[in-house]
Chain A
Amino acid sequence: MGDAQGGGANRMREVSYIERSNRPLHVYALMYLAFLYIPVLFLPLFSFNDAVYAAFPLKGFTTKWYEQMLASEPMFAALTNSIKVGATTALLATVLGIFGAKAVTRYRMPGKQPVVFVIMLPLVIPGIILGVALLILVTRLGINLSLYTVTLGHILISVPFAMATLIPRFEGFDKSMEEASADLGANAWSTFWRVTLPMVFPGVLASYLLCFTISFDEFIMAFFLAGTDPTLPIFIWGQLRFPLLLPRVLALGACILAVSFVLVFIAQWLARPGAIRSLDSRP
């Protein structure tokens, strides 16, 4: 009881000197979170507002923008395209990521640093440069712009993220498990299927979901590489020119945000440190 009454002072005394709470910093952190989230939350807010313009004061609650959005054929076509591209990108990028992550974490290789640097390069190359370079390449090769070219571009920017997600997973479990499997007579392939993959599976799933989200939301490269079939972000870009369509875009944006948030939250949760341990303790 004494402890509970002691309240803040006691709790402060429990943490060590270095970790003592810092109230201004705490307030700042909450403000920063607000800065991160509030702008994004205006989209769903105004998507239910019964007015064409996204402005205060709010005019009243309506779901008609959502109904209009759902009635839009081109929107669904773009959505289907985006899902196709996203699913393929995520699959291929994750497979490439598994190869890369396993090689990088399990083998001593000369020149590993520069090789990893090359693979991670798309992280820091401006999207527009990669986009136009690919555009030039595919047109010079005489390939028509299509969802395939978009997928190619998206794989390039997704692999670094897949690697970044998977490498900690591979590092996180003991190499001796694979060695034990080999010692017990399993060949490399069955060791991979029966030991490695189950151990890194949360990471694999996380990588898939992240790559899907990246591709699903990517605009800059898709803008250059998509042919006549638009992906969802390109569809939205086209709609932005028409002020009257704005509420519908808000509704669509709110839906996309919701889906992205859920997918990424699941992915981050799966990829959390200690995910393997919880898998271990499963009966």
Chain B
Amino acid sequence: MSNNDAFIILTGVSKHFGPVVAVDDINLTISGGEFFSLLGPSGCGKTTLLRMLAGFESPTSGEIFIDDAPMSEVPPYQRPTNMVFQNYAIFPHLNVRANIGYGLRYDKLSKAELDRRIDESLEMVKLPGFGTRRSEELSGGQRQRVALARALVKRPKVLLLDEPLGALDKKLREEMQLELRALQESVGITFIFVTHDQEEALTLSDRVAVMARGKALQVASPQQLYNCPVSIEVADFIGQMNFIDARVIEVEGERAVLEARGLGRVRAVASADFVRQGAQVVVAVRPEKLSLSYESSSDGRCSVQGEMKTAAYLGDRSHIYVTVDGCEKPLSVAAQEVESSSGQPIERGSEVWISWADESLVLLPVA
């Protein structure tokens, strides 16, 4: 492949349905062999974008290139893409073998070769011996596997997946996530994966595009998305975050000093050029980057006093909500147990200190 780093290119792709703008000027470059996710709430345009890649919708403007070839004049049945549909779209009048072999009718294979390819793909999705079943005899997870096998047996250059795990229960979903990732690594082709589940997107992907209102808000690796979101919207969609209004007092190279509501004077990394002296910004911090104690911090970390209000038990951790004078909303602090770092249980209404490291504060533009 000559152009592996820019295997799929979208330039200015928009899609209008009458007055509704479903996809708004998307520019993306996806490399060969990448596991790329489109993440966003329903109606954000992610499925429309995927369907444009498959050819089921044509862009109102812009162009999609796959492997250097422009796609706008290529009908879906001639594209080097195959799709796993949200409801799997298993043909009900055909058995599993016939479903998988459906797309191979055009490859002029000998009977033996055809059988071998089908057996191989059944093996690959761990369904050997299911060939003669019909779709109504399969469980949700099995249908999903058949859909995968049917698409992959065509050996596409790009596999498109439209929320393929959405219909499965939580446990099965987690199992399939691992399998899907392993499958992608073994076949080595580009996967483009649509989901509204941020956890799923972070677990699976090499890179994620967070979408809202037809736009791509941020395209980045899961780590970058989590640690350095570019806007409140992205930060809010990926995990949980505390937001505090602040004003920039001064900027010194990479360092900024801010006056944050309730927190007082804080220091943070001046990440972008909207952090100017006198500018209003938002300080964002993850709950797990905050820690609780009964005493003010002594190791040079910033801290602020507040009152423990309530705690939400989440199994592997708890979120403790602490009201701080001047802060609009209680701050959420993640803790292993509902206890301070010194090991004493924290009771409702007790006075506590919240502390953090300067690097854990992220500065975001005001929405």
Contact = CB atoms under 8 A, between A and B. Distances in A.
Interface of A: 3, 10, 13-14, 16-18
B56 A18 contact: yes
Contacts of A18: 56
B188 interface: no
Contacts of A14: 16-18
Interface centre among B51, B55, B57, B58 (most CB of A within 10 A): B58
A18 B55 CA distance: 10
Which secondary structure dominates chain A's binding surface?
A: helix
A23 B59 CA distance: 22
Contact of B75 (A3, A10, A13, A17): A17
A60 B275 CA distance: 88
Give 6 closest A-B pairs by Cβ, nearest first: A17-B56, A13-B58, A16-B56, A16-B57, A17-B76, A14-B17
Contacts of B17: 14
Interface in B1-23: 16-18
Contacts of B271: none
A10 B57 contact: no
Nearest to A19: B56
Given A3-B16, A14-B18, 8 more contacts: A10-B60, A13-B60, A14-B16, A14-B17, A16-B51, A16-B56, A17-B56, A18-B56
Interface string B48-73: 00010001111110000000000000
Nearest to A18: B56
A78 B56 CA distance: 59
A167 B285 CA distance: 57
A17 B75 CA distance: 8
Nearest to A17: B56
A3 B55 CA distance: 21
Contacts of B58: 13, 17
Nearest to B51: A16
10 contacts: A10-B60, A13-B58, A13-B60, A14-B16, A16-B51, A16-B56, A16-B57, A17-B55, A17-B58, A17-B76
A17 B57 CA distance: 6
Contacts of B75: 17
Q: How large is the interface on B (under 10, 10 to 19, 20 to 34, 35 or more residues)?
A: 10 to 19
A14 B58 CA distance: 8
Interface string B19-53: 00000000000000000000000000000000100
Contacts of B18: 14
Nearest to A13: B58
Contacts of B51: 16
A270 B58 CA distance: 38
B50 to A, nearest CB: 12
A165 B85 CA distance: 35
A250 to B, nearest CB: 47
Nearest to A11: B18
A10 B58 CA distance: 10
A16 to B, nearest CB: 5
Contacts of A10: 60
A14 to B, nearest CB: 6
Nearest to B75: A17
Nearest to A6: B60
A16 B57 CA distance: 5
Contacts of B56: 16-18
Nearest to B20: A14
A13 B55 CA distance: 11
B89 to A, nearest CB: 12
Contacts of A16: 51, 56-57
A41 to B, nearest CB: 36
A13 B58 CA distance: 6
Contacts of A3: 16
Interface string B66-88: 00000000011000000000000
Which of A10, A16, A18 neighbours the largest number of chain B CB atoms within 10 Å of its CB?
Answer: A16
B194 to A, nearest CB: 16
B75 to A, nearest CB: 7
A256 B18 CA distance: 43
A185 to B, nearest CB: 38
**Could you say which of B55, B60, B75, B76 has the most chain A C-beta atoms within 10 Å of its C-beta?**
B60
A29 to B, nearest CB: 24
B329 to A, nearest CB: 37
Nearest to B54: A17
A141 to B, nearest CB: 50
A10 B19 CA distance: 12
A20 to B, nearest CB: 9
Contacts of A13: 58-60
B21 to A, nearest CB: 11
A11 to B, nearest CB: 9
Contacts of B57: 16-17
A14 B21 CA distance: 11
B61 to A, nearest CB: 10
Interface in B277-307: none
A30 B283 CA distance: 64
Contacts of B60: 10, 13
Nearest to B48: A16
B135 to A, nearest CB: 20
B211 to A, nearest CB: 19
A14 B17 CA distance: 6
A279 B93 CA distance: 39
